[in-house]
């Protein structure tokens, strides 16, 4: 049992951070060392003593330089301290230049923990604190004893809630999160089956080609030539090609299953006082915490197979989250519709799709798509490929056919629902993606038209949140105007209409 | 306790398309022209330098072709700038700010005043000469800020003050 820590006094990280820094150094350096040594061994016949001497000096120089860069991580342990005052998290850092960072508790957006294998055996974890004002993590504690980290997390969560609610006397009221959802072995199996194995297969091929290029570059060994030479030696028949393809696909299936298990093993969602707590991972355990009010919008998607299985990947888009960084995204596998409704209910009590009729995009969307994207690309490919494969180039028309079908389906599946609090969009060709945004989270709305759209009385609308912009194309002009007016009325007169209901026949008269 | 259960009718909603827009100051067109002139003058100088140093392209056909393309491009730019200027306008409502822009591709942006994080008045050297300024309205979103250009400097300041006081009063 760890004694209560006095957070008003500056605290240090765990000593394990020194070990982590050293291991990180070796982890990052070993591929360079192996490649340089391999190059030396492979080119032994042509390498002179002078070359060897240059190589060794270069290698030693690189290692020493890297060691000094990494020394900063070790120095960080001795000079990095943090404490919690009444309303702020204070961080002291820097060996030569002293730095003091004061972070208001109200700005803390989420507190996450991560555990690599090394953290686990040393009973420590990495703590990451995100704030609304910055895209990157504001504060990272590389290693903290697990019990101390839990205390720290509890204190921060309680104080942050208290600060926001202005209930100064309730600092000790930390409520243990209750379990909301847990993935069973059957759920993980379903996730494995429904994973996009073809995508994994293509990634593996891309990875192998990349590595072969690296080998050719670093070792001076012609790996592509070697492969061509050996493939000629084997009697290539249709059966062998099919066999190799199936073998590759099987390997991809196994690999994507391993990926799913490593990622989603032990996945749980817990419900805190005013936040979700998510835990997952087999080798590297992660825990993320996100307050409800920091969720900007929700989206959930399912591939064709997952749609049949009624499985979804739900994403919670948080304030100032970087849309391009997958490790910052909060994605939860949800294995049935009732679970989905339960979780989304904390953001938006009733889904607009449950009670209201939908609007859809107009058929001109298909014609414009074919004219501006499908046809030019097809014509370019037909012309380009004609010189290489002759009249077989007409097979490109199959792609145009697929494009037309998918554009038609996309338009058919596109639905927009409005309730008196939120807007929901569903779209997709074979799979489906849903976006749900509460009006309170919108920052700006805009309406866009082009000469073609004006001629056909159409318009696009764009709804901007703090993170992403949601574009709804090819709406009828009156419908677009209605959505804009309705959205603005909801944002601007929320107090006045907070207890009102939307008339069900809101759809604009045709 | 009386529970209000109001019904919303589209007819009752304030409509963005009925708003009367305020065009930007006429002198702002001169600034737009001046900016484009500086841009094209730079390109012209670079093109003359290339033609002067590269002997192979000093043929009447190439020089004429480049000159025609250049003149067409400049004319088109000024034509589009003129048209876009005529469409450019803004409107201030009690609870939001609207900005209209474009010509072929038109866009109407609306920011609720509640969502404005802060606003900045900017005056460049050209704007200073014509006593104009731009007002940039920042929101919490990364791509949802808007700029109202071509305002009178005094008007921009007043508008900024009005937005700040409105936010303060509305809490």
Query: What ipTM is given for this predicted complex?
Result: 0.86
The residue ranking higher by pLDDT, A37 or B108, is B108
Give the pLDDT confidence score for residue B69 in this predicted structure.
Answer: 96
CA distance from start to end of chain A: 70
Nearest CB among B8, B110, B115 relative to A500 is that of B8
CB A348 within 8 A of CB A422: yes
CA distance A509 to chain B (A): 11
CB A25 within 8 A of CB A64: no
CA torsion, ordered B147, A495, A320, A432, to nearest 10 deg:
-100
CA distance B19 to chain A (A): 12
Nearest CB among A447, A464, A502 relative to B141 is that of A464
Instruction: List % helix, strand, coil for chain A (3-state, nearest 5).
Output: 50, 25, 25
Residue A450 in contact with partner chain B when CB distance is under 8 A: yes
The residue ranking higher by pLDDT, A230 or B75, is B75
Strands A124-131 and A108-115: antiparallel
The most confident of A67-76, A88-97, A363-372, by mean pLDDT = A363-372
Q: Bridge partners of A277? A: A270, A289
Task: Write the secondary structure of chain B as one string of H (helix), E (strand) and C (coil).
Answer: CCCCCCEECHHHCCCHHHCCCEECCCHHHHHHHHHHHHHHHHHHHHHHHHHHHCHHHCCHHHHHHHHHHHHHHHHHHHHHHHHHHHHCEEEECCCEEEEEECCCCEEEEEEEHHHEEEEEEECCHHHHHCCEEEEEEEECCCCCCEEEEEEEHHHHHHHHHHHHHHHHHHC
Q: Which among A481, A479, A485 has a CA at the least distance from the CA of A497?
A: A485
CB A130 within 8 A of CB A294: no
Beta-carbon separation of A442 and B115 below 8 A: yes
Exposed/middle/buried for residue A126 (C-beta within 10 Å: 0-12, 13-18, 19+): buried
Most A CBs within 10 Å: which of B9, B94, B140, B146, as the mutation test of the A interface?
A: B140
**Rounded Cα gap, residues A272 and B30, in angstroms:** 59
Q: What stretches of A49-107 adopt beta strand conformation (E)?
A: 81-84, 88-93, 99-104
Residue A322 in contact with partner chain B when CB distance is under 8 A: no
Mean pLDDT of B136-161: 89
CB B9 within 8 A of CB A503: yes
Q: How far is CA B25 from CA A372, A473, B67, B134, B150, in A?
A: 37, 33, 33, 11, 5
**Rounded Cα gap, residues A227 and A248, in angstroms:** 16
How does pLDDT run across A193-249, given as a tens digit for each residue?
A: 888 888 888 888 888 888 777 777 766 667 777 777 776 666 667 788 888 888 888
Nearest CB among A448, A492, A500 relative to B6 is that of A500
**Rounded Cα gap, residues A208 and A476, in angstroms:** 49
Closest chain A residue to B17, measured at CA: A481
How many residue contacts between A and B have a Cβ separation below 8 Å? Answer: 105
Nearest CB among B8, B9, B115 relative to A443 is that of B115
CA distance from start to end of chain B: 26
Angle subtended by helix axes A16-42 and A49-79, to nearest 10: 170
Beta-carbon separation of A485 and B16 below 8 A: yes
Most A CBs within 10 Å: which of B117, B119, B143, as the mutation test of the A interface?
A: B143
CA B136 to chain centre: 10
Predicted confidence (pLDDT) at residue A506 exceeds the cutoff of 50: no
Closest chain B residue to A444, measured at CA: B111
From chain A, the residues in CB contact with B108 under 8 A are: 446-448
The residue ranking higher by pLDDT, A425 or A272, is A425
* Residue A173 main-chain phi, psi, to 5 deg: -80, 65
Q: If you average pLDDT over every residue of chain A, what do you get? A: 81
Nearest CB among B3, B114, B141 relative to A465 is that of B141
Interface of B with A (CB under 8 A): 3-10, 13-17, 95-96, 104-112, 114-115, 139-144, 146
Residue A471 in contact with partner chain B when CB distance is under 8 A: no
Q: What stretches of A4-138 adopt beta strand conformation (E)?
A: 81-84, 88-93, 99-104, 108-115, 124-131
Question: What confidence category does residue A164 fall into, taking pLDDT thresholds of 50, 70 and 90?
Answer: low
Predicted confidence (pLDDT) at residue A301 exceeds the cutoff of 90: yes
From chain B, the residues in CB contact with A482 under 8 A are: 10, 13
Exposed/middle/buried for residue A475 (C-beta within 10 Å: 0-12, 13-18, 19+): buried
Q: In this prediction, what percent of chain A has a pLDDT beyond 90?
A: 23
pTM check: above 0.80: no
* Residue A415 main-chain phi, psi, to 5 deg: -135, 140
Provide the token pair at A260: 């799913």
Predicted confidence (pLDDT) at residue A457 exceeds the cutoff of 80: yes
Closest chain A residue to B2, measured at CA: A499
Contacts for A114-120 with beta carbons within 8 Å, 24 or more apart?
A114/A284, A114/A285, A114/A286, A114/A287, A115/A281, A115/A284, A115/A285, A115/A286, A116/A283, A116/A284, A117/A283, A117/A284, A118/A16, A118/A19, A118/A20, A118/A23, A119/A16, A119/A143, A120/A285
Q: Which among A230, A233, A223, A331 has a CA at the least distance from the CA of A286?
A: A331
How does pLDDT run across A46-84, given as a tens digit for each residue?
A: 556 666 677 777 777 777 777 777 777 777 778 888 888
Closest chain A residue to B137, measured at CA: A444
Predicted confidence (pLDDT) at residue A132 exceeds the cutoff of 70: no
């Amino acid at each position: 049992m760890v004694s209560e820590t006095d957070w008003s006094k500056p605290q240090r990280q765990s000593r394990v951070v020194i070990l982590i820094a050293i291991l990180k150094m070796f982890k990052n350096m070993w591929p360079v060392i192996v490649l340089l040594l391999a190059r030396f061994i492979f080119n032994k016949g042509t390498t002179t003593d002078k070359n060897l001497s240059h190589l060794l000096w270069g290698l030693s120089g690189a290692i020493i330089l890297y060691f000094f860069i990494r020394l900063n991580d070790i120095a960080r342990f001795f000079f990095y301290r943090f404490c919690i005052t009444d309303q702020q998290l204070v961080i002291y850092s820097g060996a030569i230049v002293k730095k003091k960072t004061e972070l208001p508790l109200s700005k803390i957006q989420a507190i996450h923990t991560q555990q690599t294998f090394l953290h686990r055996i040393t009973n420590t974890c990495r703590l990451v604190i995100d704030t609304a004002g910055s895209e990157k993590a504001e504060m990272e504690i590389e290693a903290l004893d697990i019990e101390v980290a839990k205390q720290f997390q509890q204190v921060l969560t309680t104080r942050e809630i208290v600060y926001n609610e202005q209930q100064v006397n309730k600092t000790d009221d930390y409520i243990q999160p209750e379990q909301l959802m847990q993935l069973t072995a059957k759920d993980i199996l379903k996730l494995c089956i429904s994973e996009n194995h073809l995508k994994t297969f293509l990634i593996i091929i891309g990875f192998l080609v990349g590595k072969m290029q690296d080998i050719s570059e670093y070792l001076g060994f012609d790996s592509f030539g070697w492969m061509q030479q050996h493939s000629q030696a084997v009697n290539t028949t249709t059966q062998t090609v099919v066999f190799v393809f199936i073998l590759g696909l099987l390997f991809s299936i196994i690999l994507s299953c391993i990926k799913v298990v490593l990622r989603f093993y032990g996945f749980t969602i817990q419900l805190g006082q005013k936040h979700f707590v998510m835990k997952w991972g087999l080798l590297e355990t992660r825990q993320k915490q996100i307050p409800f009010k920091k969720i900007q919008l929700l989206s959930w998607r399912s591939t064709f197979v997952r749609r049949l299985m009624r499985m979804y990947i739900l994403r919670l888009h948080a304030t100032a989250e970087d849309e391009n960084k997958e490790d910052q995204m909060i994605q939860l596998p949800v294995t049935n519709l009732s679970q989905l409704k339960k979780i989304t209910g904390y953001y938006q009590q009733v889904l607009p799709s449950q009670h209201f009729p939908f609007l859809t995009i107009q058929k001109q969307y298909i014609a414009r798509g074919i004219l501006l994207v499908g046809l030019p690309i097809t014509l370019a490919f037909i012309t380009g490929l004609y010189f290489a494969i002759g009249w077989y180039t007409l097979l490109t028309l199959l792609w145009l056919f697929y494009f037309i079908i998918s554009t038609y389906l996309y338009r058919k599946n596109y639905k927009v629902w409005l309730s008196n609090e939120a807007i929901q969009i569903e779209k997709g060709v074979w799979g489906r993606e849903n976006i749900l945004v509460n009006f309170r989270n919108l920052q700006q709305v805009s309406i866009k038209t082009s000469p073609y759209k004006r001629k056909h009385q159409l318009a696009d609308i764009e709804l901007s949140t703090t993170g992403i912009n949601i574009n709804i194309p090819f709406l009828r002009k009156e419908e677009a105007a209605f959505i804009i007016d309705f959205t603005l009325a909801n944002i601007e007169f929320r107090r006045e209409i907070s207890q009102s209901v939307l008339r069900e026949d809101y759809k604009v008269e045709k | 306790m009386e529970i209000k259960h109001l019904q919303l009718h589209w007819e009752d909603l304030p409509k963005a398309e009925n708003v009367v827009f305020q065009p930007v100051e006429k002198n702002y067109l001169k600034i737009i022209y001046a900016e484009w002139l500086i841009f094209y003058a730079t390109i012209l100088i670079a093109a003359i330098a290339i033609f002067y140093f590269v002997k192979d392209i000093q043929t009447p056909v190439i020089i004429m072709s480049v000159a025609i393309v250049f003149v067409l491009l400049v004319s088109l730019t000024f034509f589009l700038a003129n048209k876009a200027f005529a469409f450019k306008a803004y409107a201030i409502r009690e609870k939001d700010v609207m900005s209209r822009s474009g010509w072929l591709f038109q866009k109407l942006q609306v920011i609720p005043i509640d969502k404005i994080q802060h606003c900045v008045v900017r005056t460049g050297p050209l704007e200073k000469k014509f006593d104009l300024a731009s007002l940039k309205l920042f929101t919490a979103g990364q791509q949802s800020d808007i700029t109202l250009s071509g305002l009178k400097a005094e008007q921009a300041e007043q508008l900024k003050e009005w937005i700040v006081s409105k936010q303060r009063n509305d809490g």
